[in-house]
Amino acid sequence: MNVRTDLSVTGRAWVFGDDVNTDDMYPGFAMKLPMAEASRFMFNATRPGWSDLVEPGDVVVAGRNFGLGSSRPVAELFTALGVTALIAEQYNSLFLRNCLNLGLPAVTVPDARAFVSEGDVVSIDVEHGVAMNDSTGVERAFTRFPGFLVDMLRSGGLIRQLEVAGHLRPPTGGPA
Amino acid sequence: MIEKILAGAAGVDDTTPGDILTCDVDMTVLIDVQFAMSRLMDVIAVHDPDKVAIVMDHAVPAPTVRDATHGTRARSFAREHGIERFYDIGRHGIVHQVIAEQGLATPGSVVACTDSHTCAAGAFNAAARGLGPAEILQIVCTGKTWHRVPPTIRYEFVGTKPDHINGKDIFLAIAAHYGDATDHAIEFGGPGLASVPMTDRRTIATQGAEVGADFTLFPADDICVDHMRSVAPHLVVTPFDADDDASYAAVRTIDLGDIDAMVARPGTVIDNAVPVTDLESTPIHQAFIGSCANGQLADLREAARIIAGHRVAPGVRLIVTPASQQVYLEAVERGYVTTLMEAGAVVTNSTCGACFGYAMGVLAPGEVCVTASTRNFRGRMGSTDASVYMASPATVAASAVAGRIVSPAFLMEGMPV
């Protein structure tokens, strides 16, 4: 999570449905595991085995109410698998804040699933609010984030900002 | 209501939905699983130790070495930063129950905690919501966070809540009829509210998370103020009520007298709950009463009242988890625990436990559970091939006796078991 977030990303899309909840993305039993192992169980209820298919640089696309449920830090699992951005038609706000705070860009495109099909290559420019489906040539503008959130993403997430501001000592390490 | 509380916390006169405000946070509550984040141990200074509490709830007493380490970190953090409100094992309970018992959320205050059911404290007229671990870390360090002011959906209660109807039934009826409230605040009021006690308000406010609400707010009426005085006698209460001319995204009237006992089918509560009579042939293997939504003393009392003199059906496990040590002790003293155990229930330590499928009460493939806890997501309580139905404690207790989903009336009317 302490890497600088690239605000302009291009990746292959995986498409999920409506109301995907955080128990599905980060099952309770996986909370017993270190992040890298827990990430193997993403979408365990609705798409088991997905983590073996996703590749670093990929993008996840979803429908309405993406991330309903608990506050478990799902964004860290996406990051562990190398997912570089999320596009959804609508987010649960707790989930959305979690993603942004952990440096994972998550943009809202109200007709995301009409705009992107699974396997399409999509480019997202977070700073300028533009998404392009490179496979179809279709473009979408999306609402840009307030400046303080763009700054946070650019600096690699909230924890990195807290370090820079002198609120945190250098990492003492230990298992995540 | 939410606009007034957030504006006050941000030091601005006025605000409208969509505004982003930087708010002072009055109480930040850390829980054991939060200490999975090792960076908490790198905090140089807590902004205000009097505005931080630590509650051990999700995985206590520790079922794994990893969880035990979270406990070690929590104790070390409390010591290093002088956190006096530390509810370690023995004083513990589910965080939202402890917040209620200790008066950690007061009318008009801003409350933050990593648990997504923090909206429970909205029962006390507090702007409370779940926030992610990184953000809680920020508040611990700076005392502030940002909130986007949400539009509000108001539920106007009319009529009188029947005695046998629980906050869970009211909530499930609302979720079934009106669907989700994503990115909105939900506000309750109206003349019927006087018939809804704090315990049911807590249940309703807690479950706001399941329809995606940012905040779930009740006014600080006489019932709420009486509760606050009982837990914090010297508190000066400043209610934040809605203005008469407040504008809403929607105003919906709920006649409490029309609410049936409800059950949510597996998966979600949104557009997915039905009257219990629609599901009465469904056999069950496990029944669970507990969680921040329905592990309160009143929930245990109702379960004991329903089940007294009956036995849990063969092949069914009834698990009852008091929401806190205090609830557990009172339930023992009042005899509820004896009644439940004589009926065949397993009464467990206070913890989030079975609700989130982590350390106990986990379901095997093919099993069916009816639960009074907070979530019925697929895979929530164990196997992704198990089915979780959600209902009130009364419905769960009656179903445990019947061995299938039934209305509490099944036992209350003295029908043969």
pLDDT surpasses 80 at B133: yes
Question: Mind listing the pLDDT tens digit for each residue in B140-153?
Answer: 999 999 999 999 99
Look at residue B251 in the predicted model and tell me its pLDDT: 98
Q: Does B337 touch chain A if contact means CB atoms closer than 8 Å?
A: no
Look at residue B413 in the predicted model and tell me its pLDDT: 62
Look at residue B381 in the predicted model and tell me its pLDDT: 97
Rounded percentage of chain B residues whose pLDDT exceeds 90: 95
Domains of chain B: 1-233+246-255 (3.30.499.10), 263-410 (3.30.499.10)
Class of domain A8-163 (CATH, top level): alpha beta
Look at residue B140 in the predicted model and tell me its pLDDT: 98
In angstroms, rounded to a whole number, what is the distance separating the alpha carbons of residues A31 and B59?
11
Q: Does B234 touch chain A if contact means CB atoms closer than 8 Å?
A: no
Please name the member of B39, B138, B377 whose beta carbon is closest to the beta carbon of A21: B377
Kindly report the average pLDDT of chain B as a whole number.
96
Cβ–Cβ gap A21/B268 under 8 Å: yes
Cβ–Cβ gap B116/A71 under 8 Å: yes
How far, rounded to the nearest angstrom, does the alpha carbon of residue B380 sit from its chain's CA centroid?
16
Q: Is the peptide bond before B416 cis (omega within 30 degrees of 0)?
A: no
Question: Mind listing the pLDDT tens digit for each residue in B215-241?
Answer: 999 999 999 999 999 999 999 888 999
pLDDT surpasses 70 at B308: yes
Look at residue A173 in the predicted model and tell me its pLDDT: 59
Which of the residues B42, B146, B351 would you substitute to probe the A interface, choosing the one with the greatest number of A C-beta atoms within 10 Å? B42
Look at residue A171 in the predicted model and tell me its pLDDT: 87
Which of the residues B39, B43, B95, B373 would you substitute to probe the A interface, choosing the one with the greatest number of A C-beta atoms within 10 Å? B39
Question: Mind listing the pLDDT tens digit for each residue in B207-219?
Answer: 999 999 999 999 9
CA distance to partner chain A, nearest, from residue B75 (Å): 16
Locate the domains of chain A by residue range: 8-163
Q: Does A56 touch chain B if contact means CB atoms closer than 8 Å?
A: no
pLDDT surpasses 90 at B124: yes
Question: Mind listing the pLDDT tens digit for each residue in B44-82?
Answer: 999 999 999 999 999 999 999 999 999 999 999 999 999
Cβ–Cβ gap A73/B133 under 8 Å: yes
Residues of chain A with pLDDT under 50: 1-2, 175-176
Average pLDDT over residues B253-278: 97
Look at residue B105 in the predicted model and tell me its pLDDT: 97
Cβ–Cβ gap A168/B357 under 8 Å: no
In angstroms, rounded to a whole number, what is the distance separating the alpha carbons of residues B321 and B343?
15
Q: pLDDT tier at B415 (50, 70, 90 boundaries)? A: very low
